[in-house]
Structure 1
Amino acid sequence: MERWTAMKAHYLSPLFQPNNIVVIGASETTDSVGARVFRNLLDAPFKGALFGVNLRHGAVFGERVYDRIAAVPVDEIDLAVITTSARTLPGLMRECGERGVKMALVLSRDFVAVDSSNRALLEEAVAMARQYGVRLLGPNLLGMMRPSQGLIAANYQGHVKPGNLALVSQSSSVASAILDWAEAHEVGFSAVVSMGAAADVNFGEILDFLSQDSQTRGILLYLEDVGEARGFMSALRAAARQKPVVCLKVGRDPNPTDHAARTHSYRLIGRDDAFDAALRRVGVLRVPTMVHMSIAIRMLAANYRTRGRRLAVISNGYGAGRMAVDRARELGVEMPRLDAATVAYLDQSLPPIGNHDNPVDILGDAPPERFLVAAEACLADPSVDGVLVVLTPQAGTDHLATAERMIALRRKTDKLLMLVWLGDKKIALSRKLLDRAHMAYFFSPEHAVEAFASLAAWNYIQELSLQTPGPLSSRSEPHVAQARQVIAGALAAGRSLLTTAESLVVLDAFHIPHPPTLPAATPEEAVAAAARIGLPVALKIDADNLIHKSDIDGVLLNLNSLEQVADNAEAMLAYARQRLPAGSVHGLVVQKMHGKRHGRELMLGVARDAVFGPIIAFGSGGLTVDVFEDVAVTLPPLNDMIAGNLIKRTKVARALGPFRNHPAADVESVKQILLRLSEMVCELPEMVELDLNPVVVDEHGAVAVDASIVVAALPPGFRRYSHMAVHPYPAHLITHGQLKDGMACVLRPVRPEDADELQYFVRVELSDESRFNRFMSTLKQLSPGMLVRFTQLDYAREMAVAATVTEDGRERIAGVARYTANPDAASCEFAVSIADRWQGKGLGVQLMEALFKAARDTGLSSIEGDILGSNTAMLGLMKKLGFDIRPHPDDATLKWVVKAL
């Protein structure tokens, strides 16, 4: 029962919390990077030890400096800030490595991406850094800041005050603009990191540190590109589960559409759709513009939240109130009617003229007390989640006193109170007052409503990010082997597009309903098939590499006689053989017409994004699918909640309800097909594109009328679920065990819903000694943040296996083993705890063996941990499991244990 490894210093601590800094290239040369960085660190001032390196001078700004880094008089150097030109970098990295520097911040700005010689210099420098174990951030960046420590290691002119927000930006210019805005509005930062070229340390690693940073309460991201998706998504998900993350991303390029043979799903989903879906899935709020980013900064800095989407608007001007109402309707923000008791109270308290339901009009001459009465009443209304107060400076309006009332009111309510102070010169003084109080105030009603909508959306995506659906349905297991056999056959034949018959076999394997369908090589066989299936039928061409059959008139519907089938089959085959390559036409498929008089046509599909992997699409279907482009997308795996939300985000969702003589469609049957698609995505990684178009749904259910599936061979070394950006719940790791006394136990990965049971396990089932052995502290229970981290797992980089037993009909946790992958992505560090009353029953071995299997599944090659030297029982277990037990390199009271997997 070793200590909680997360209590160790993060490996990026030398960057964010250095004890000492060396500025290489420190200078007094006006406007040089070295001068500005050294001056910033002196003026802040940096709270650790600061050294400079300059080849020509012995002093810079009156401070002694050294001619080389080897001469700096300190045992270990945490952070070297390199401000010299690109050509010096490889040599400097060698010097840093030989000197034992832990982190290098490379501010050199002359690395031009298209310059092959500079690219070679950078590659040489990175290789040198890796050889010596030096981590490198940069180059081409503004720098990094930790204002609370006086760490302003940046080429920036301006004041950055301490605060609770972290800013991570790929662009130096955008970071500078945000910092300038923040200074004017008295917004502070816990950290500011400019990423630049990110040649070594990447976004995911920075986010990993900030997610654990106690100084950071919210994270702001500016992105232009995403590199490796799995690590980025893992870190982003971990951060967003613990604190708000807001992202502004540029570059909304669509997928290339010059491949006419691609599926509708591929052609309709752009790169930006995939990124949007990825952010939504991990719980990150995306904003569209710098204006919205500034709004988000203000809201996050003040720690504003809303529990729902119901907004009440109060205004002393009808027109200003209507601006808010109109924008709310456009964004789907609910404007509820106030409770009768609230309206009655407002009728008594406000002038009889004006509207006293939502929106509340308190008239242009409203004094501060009238604003206060209306706001208090609306905040107390149970049908309201947030209140927006709009003030317009009119004769008799006391904007300063009203601002003071609103500031005081905010301290008394746990609901969201938002303000709009319209105007400029007349209300400048009260705006400054609101700024100092960190009130959620805005310059226009529209921006305020957009902020409220964003907060409501953030609430939803937080709920969405907690969903950990498994890869397979619990209702009926799919025949995965059958589907894989069909795909393997097509790939062996050199085909990437499955035939219609093959596609239907795959649909059958995953229990996706479709009309009865038979193949027919000749017109005579088509007639026999139609007679067998029953009229009316549809005829469709079956040919290699033909995704869109209608492009060659390869679909005929509602054939009501065998004579029609015979005549049309012969003509269709002849025309197809004229249009398509020789030997590619297999014949026809004959399909029973779906017979859904009230049917709505939908499109369900899968496409593969280059960065985020498989994406599931839903929208309106049929021949006009490319015309209306009514499609919503999400990342798999899905569950009922995610599938339902995907449907609701489209326009065609409205057509699924009752209208005119059409009864409501069976939406549940559509959800079930989406869930089956999710299973296919998880278990058939060879499937890169799929169209079910149309899927026809009516009040009796849904059927897939046509299917196109594109496949590709797996890359060498492929690992289960590695094609997915969001790892599904690893249900395949669930096993059954038995304790020495014969009692049954289940070993399974931890789920988010285990939070309460895990808290009980730590608080009740572990003794003080066991808790100390596990966490190296005297804590009595897990904090909310620890509960989140321990139960809301990213299975791609961490695992927790719980051993559960059933007592009095309730599942109880008897022990937990967990690992977290190290930055090298090859090793992991583990922890294990067993409840005192379940110790000595053979549970430790079973837990650790389950953990070994999970680690091997993800490609990890070794597992390691540190254990108290006095914990003889745990050391005995480690020896039994084959661990190598060594002296700990940093702490004589600990033992370091390592095992190859």
Structure 2
Amino acid sequence: MSTYRLKSVFRPQSIAIVGGSTRERSAGRAVVRNLQAAGFPGKLGWVSRRYPEIDGVRTVRNLGDLGWVPDLIVITAPARIVPRVVAVAARLGVAAAIILTAGLGKGPGSPAARAESAARAKGLRILGPHCLGVIAPHAKLNASIAAHCPQPGDLALISESSAIAAALVEWGVARSVGFSAVVSLGDTLDVDFGDLLDYFATDYRTRAILLYVEHIQDARKFMSAARAAARSKPVVVVKSGRQPASAARDAQTHTGALASADAVYDAAFRRAGLLRVGALDELFAAAETLGRLGTFPGHRLAILSNGGGVGQLATDQLAALGGTLATLSADTVSRLDKAIPQEWSRANPVDIVVDADGERYAQAIEALLADPDNDALMVVNVPTAFTSSADAAQALTRSLGARSGGYRRKPVFAVWLGNDDAAIGTLNAAQIPSYATESDAIHGFMHLVRYRQAQTALMETPPSLPEDFVVDSAAARQHVEAALQAGRRWLDPLAVQAVLEAYGIPVAPLQLAGDAEQAARLAATMLQAGSAVAVKILSPDIPHKSDIDGVRLNLTSVEAVREAADGILGRARAARPKARIDGVVLQPTLLRPKARELIAGIADDATFGPVIVFGRGGTATEVIDDKALALPPLDLRLAHELIGRTRVSRILKAYGDVPAADERAVALVLVKLAQLATDLPEIRALDINPLLADRDGVIALDARIAVAPSESGHKGRGHPRLSIFPYPKEWERYIPLSDGTTAFVRPVRPEDDALFRAFFARVTDEDLRLRFFQAVKHFSHEFIARLTQLDYARSIALVAIDPRSGQMLGAVRLHADADYDRGEYGILIRSDLKGHGIGWKLMQIMIEYAGWLGLNVVEGQVLRENRTMLDMCQTLGFKVSTDPDEPTVANVVLSVQEARAASAPVR
């Protein structure tokens, strides 16, 4: 249900606690105390069947006895009666419930299932069960069993674990780090990560979101919400369970073995633009950094210290994490020469000598803040007998308070070694992030750098695919369906070859032989053509040929082929007596002495579906473990980025007398594999190992494909298994216009940046104001990227294009909620083309798309002065009403099913 009724969770006007006793460790009693201590300003009620009064607070026996309907209830009652409480609350019209009670079980007939059913029937939202509760300090809300309430701040914490949430609350209280909200999900009957990411992405009190994740239930919903949230603010995540899963260890393909569950989560977080940290202490450091510093452009760090050794350790840590040490400008060196004794380092890190007092610190800090050759500053203080750490801290705060101009937002990281409470108090009061060690501070700096890099990557425009990127998905599907109809899990080698060729992936030719004699006869032709022969075992039950010594290469005679085939078959039967042995595969030996051995393929993940795997190939690929993963679909930019995250990418470059490999050809193979996974959800595993790459291109030497019937793992329409909705090509079409011409309508693509810029140049300021509800004078890259880089799972934008000129005529967009119940639309037509019927046609297609998604309602907001849009909405069947909070705005609402019944689809 996305953000539906979540306002009642975080900003309720009234609350009732259900359950509680006079016991000291009573959860209900703890919640009431926390609400009272936080100063909750709304109406508060307490329901208890056993105690008429607790702690001087009168209770009632039933929710209905309150005499009013609470926005939120907090349930601490025994598990057996929780479903009944939820049913009563839902019937009364309560908006949301927090269930702290544990032990509700799982599955049909359990208390959890009965509570969920009762709530869903009336739209009551449930957080939990078995959770810590909710803290929203700005609303003076502490509906939790946490020991303390943090101060108001701008960090939102969403934790799957109550213990982790409680620990972070304590950490925040100790460090004076505030939160906009703290939520623990517990067993997640209803409200999940996706819902809360959607909520906090638009919460003006929240500047950064922290996640503690154990597992994701709805991958597509999570990815959709996470990508949207990460485009607007930092999202930091720590994920438990890094050990390799047995499923990966026991995989029957190399790509499956490389795609451990944790590696797939890592790929998902990366694709969503989230900043992943390795442990709780890093999450704490990220919270410290994000809580007190904004993001910044750049990656060059200046380090200032009164101890050379600590500065050098910081430099080493920076290098180890891939950071950049800033240089000092000539003006800065000259300025420091006048302020610091001559024995200073005269380089970065800047060592201002062990006896540095507050004044020397101030002069050095001000010089480095003004230096345009750095982007951030780390200040280290080592306590000595000569100086005062508190004076140095005061000098830092004075210098930061006095800075101005372009250096005002340059982030500063403080490392005050020792236990000087006065110094730390000064830094905390000034909201300067401070760290116990130089390593912690470097990690904090790199968190901001990597977040900025992730944002830049999200906003980049990918290069266009080549015009000759043509696939024959129908031909490939024939082979997949034939295998499924025959009950086979693995495609035979000839079918594998045909599938790869259908997607333009070069494959070494092969022939199949049932025994050694047939292998010898087939080899004769290859040998006559001047090629040596390779012989490999053919068995669906032997996934790794090298395990049974099942490969022989560079055979140059018929007899050698016969002996090799006979030996391979004999060893296979001896080593795997229960395996199906179909014979051997013969291939001509390819002589490409300077080619690199790579691996590329598709793995299947239980949570995220198909995953593209790339890395170092060969028989030792799992031992080397040089791999990178990405979720499909891919474009060329993402494919090149995937390659760049491996060590093998370095030897794709030229070295010695070895020319550079054709990296673009490798990237195209990865894009084609992603397209294959998109087109054929029945493909569950695909291995190309090795994929040879050199300056002449790529060729697959060995490949395997496993198939299985497709199963849907997500809500909504579209591809049943992809976590990221692919480009919906089926919504491309031509439409007639009123002047007799036609327009081509298609979904917006990430590379449409230039198209939108040219379009906006031909839209009047007045039309822009009517569309965006404010004057728009500048179209930044980020602004355009948010319009063109869509998550097709819940967002669609359709552009109308003149087929003759290629110019954009108009666009309509629709954003659905996570439950595919309601969608919000927006539309804009080029100002000189009004009256040509473009807007009418786009609105009809948008309504048709809403029906295809399964939405019940399409809604929007229109300025009341925009009579043209209001008249069109009324003609299309929208109901128009004045917004109760803004009289200049009209709310327009359409029943999708009624509208579809009244009009035929636009084709």
TM-score (norm 2): 0.89
* 1:578-607 CA-partner distances (Å, limit 9, x unpaired): 666799444433323332222222222221
Q: 2:149 aligns with which of 159, 165, 174?
A: 159
Alignment match of 1:540 (pick from 536, 543, 555): 536
Distance 2:154 2:467 in 1: 44
Q: How far apart are the structure 1 equivalents of 2:21 and 2:883?
A: 39
Partner Cα separation in structure 2 for residue 187 and residue 834 of structure 1: 47
Distance in 2 (alpha carbons) for counterparts of 1:709 and 1:16:
49
Work out whether residues 516 and 533 of structure 1, in 8 Å CA contact, stay in contact via their aligned partners in 2: no
Give distance in 1, aligned partners of 2:496 and 2:119.
51
Aligned counterparts, 1:371-450, within 5 A = 371-410=361-400, 411-412=403-404, 413=407, 416-425=410-419, 427-450=420-443
Whether contact under 8 Å (2:712, 2:720) holds in the other structure is: no
Following the alignment from structure 1 to structure 2, what is the Cα–Cα distance between the partners of residues 285 and 71? 48
1:817 aligned residue (791, 807, 812): 812
Instruction: Label 1:568 to 1:173 Cα distance change in 2 as closer, same or farther (>3 A).
Output: closer
> Superposed, which structure 2 residues align to 1:226-265 within 5 Å?
226-257=216-247, 262-265=252-255
| Structure 1 position 865 matched with structure 2 position 859 | yes
Once residues 833 and 71 of structure 1 are traced to their aligned partners in structure 2, the CA distance between those partners, rounded to angstroms, is: 52
Is 2:325 the partner of 1:353? no
The answer to whether 1:512 aligns with 2:509 is no
* Structure 1 residue 787: Cα displacement: 6.7
* 3-state SS of 1:214 partner: coil
User: Is the CA contact 1:687–1:712 (under 8 Å) kept in the aligned structure 2?
Assistant: yes
Given that 2:127 and 2:190 are in contact with CA atoms closer than 8 Å, whether structure 1 keeps it comes out as yes
Mapped pair 1:897 → 2:894 = yes
Tell me the residue number matched to 1:484. 477
Q: Secondary structure at the match of 1:611?
A: coil
Deviates more, 1:48-57 or 1:890-899: 890-899
Matched with 2:903 is none
8 A Cα contact 1:470 1:728, kept in partner:
no
- Cα distance, 1:447 vs structure 2: 1.3
User: CA separation in 1, counterparts of 2:248 and 2:211?
Assistant: 32
Match of residue 827 from structure 2: 832
The aligned amino acid for 2:472 is H
Establish whether residue 800 from structure 1 lines up as the match of residue 797 from structure 2: yes
- Secondary structure of 2:413's aligned partner: strand
Instruction: Point out where structure 1 has 5 or more consecutive residues left out of the alignment.
Output: 1-5
**SS of equivalent residue, structure 1 residue 765:** coil
- Matches of 1:470 and 1:545 in 2, distance apart? 41
Task: State the AA in 2 paired with 1:487.
Answer: V
**Are 2:111 and 1:111 aligned?**
no
1:73 aligned to 60, 67, 75, which one? 67
Aligned partner of 1:324 among 314, 321, 326: 314
Q: 2: CA distance between counterparts of 1:640 and 1:778?
A: 36
Q: 1:386 touches 1:415 (CA, 8 Å); kept in 2?
A: no
State how far apart, in whole Å, the 1-side matches of 2:868 and 2:455 are: 41
Q: Is residue 677 of structure 2 the alignment partner of residue 681 of structure 1?
A: yes
SS of alignment partner, residue 199 of structure 2: helix
Q: Which one of the candidate residues 172, 179, 184 is aligned to 2:169?
A: 179
Distance 2:813 2:676 in 1: 29
What residue in structure 1 maps to residue 92 of structure 2? Answer: 99
User: Equivalents in 1 of 2:633, 2:621: separation in Å?
Assistant: 24
Q: In the alignment, which residue of structure 2 is the partner of 1:170?
A: 160
Aligned counterparts of 1:387 and 1:717: Cα–Cα separation in 2 = 47
Q: Is contact 1:793–1:799 with CA below 8 Å preserved after alignment? A: yes
The amino acid that maps onto 2:812 is A
> C-alpha distance in 2, partners of 1:254/1:87?
38
Q: Is 1:630–2:623 an aligned residue pair?
A: no
- 1:469-618 pair list within 5 angstroms: 474-521=467-514, 522-531=518-527, 533-573=529-569, 575-576=571-572, 584-618=580-614
Paired residue for 1:271?
261
Q: Which amino acid letter does the alignment assign opposite residue 23 of structure 1?
A: I
- For 1:128-143, list aligned pairs within 5 A: 128-143=118-133
Q: In 2, are the aligned partners of 1:350 and 1:362 still within 8 Å (CA)? A: yes
Structure 2 residue runs of 5 or longer lacking an equivalent are 901-907
Contact 1:367 1:402 in 2 (8 A): yes
**Does the CA-based 8 Å contact 1:867-1:875 persist in structure 2?**
no
Aligned-CA RMSD value? 3.5
- Which of the residues 676, 690, 702 maps onto 2:698? 702
Instruction: Give 1:665 deviation, angstroms.
Output: 3.2
Q: Distance in 2 between matches of 1:716 and 1:305?
A: 39
Contact preservation (8 Å) 2:608, 2:723: yes
Q: 2:35, 2:304 → 1: CA distance? A: 48
1:867 & 1:407 partners in 2: Cα distance? 47
Aligned length: 884
The offset of 1:112, in angstroms, is: 5.8
- Specify the SS of the correspondent of 2:171: helix
Query: Which residue of structure 1 aligns with residue 731 of structure 2?
Result: 733
Q: Give the aligned residue type for 2:664.
A: E
Q: Is the 8 A contact 2:248 2:256 kept in 1?
A: no
Give the counterpart letter for 1:606 in structure 2.
Answer: I
1:748 is the counterpart of 2:746: yes
Once residues 290 and 506 of structure 2 are traced to their aligned partners in structure 1, the CA distance between those partners, rounded to angstroms, is 47
Q: Are the structure 2 counterparts of residues 353 and 537 from structure 1 closer, same or farther at C-alpha, using a change threshold of 3 Å?
A: farther
Query: Contact 2:45 / 2:59 at 8 angstroms: preserved in 1?
Result: yes
Structure 1 stretch 694-703 or stretch 437-446: which is displaced more?
694-703
Q: Deviations over 1:781-810 (max 9, x none)?
A: 799898776544221012122334599x78
CA distance 1:474–1:635, shift in 2 (3 Å): farther
Q: Confirm whether residue 334 of structure 1 aligns to residue 314 of structure 2.
A: no
Write the distance in 1 (CA, Å) between the matches of 2:839 and 2:437: 61
Q: Is residue 314–residue 387 contact of structure 1 (8 Å, CA) maintained in 2?
A: yes
TM-superposition CA deviations, 1:641-692 (whole Å, max 9, x none): 3222222322223333344443433333322222222222222211111111
* Aligned-pair identity (%): 35
Q: Deviations over 1:414-460 (max 9, x none)?
A: 564443434323x3311111112121321111111122222222122
Which residue of 36, 41, 45 maps to 2:35? 41
Q: Which amino acid aligns with 1:832?
A: I
Letter in 2 for 1:794: D
Under a length normalisation based on structure 1, what TM-score does the superposition of the two structures give?
0.89
2:839 paired residue number: 844
- Aligned mates of 1:415, 1:32 — CA distance in 2: 47
Deviations 1:754-804 (A, max 9, x none): 6787689789736758855x56x5665799898776544221012122334
1:88 equivalenced with 2:81 (yes/no): yes
Bigger Cα displacement from structure 2, 270-279 vs 656-665: 656-665
> In the aligned structure 2, how far is the partner of 1:788 from the partner of 1:11?
30
Q: Give the partner amino acid of 1:289.
A: A
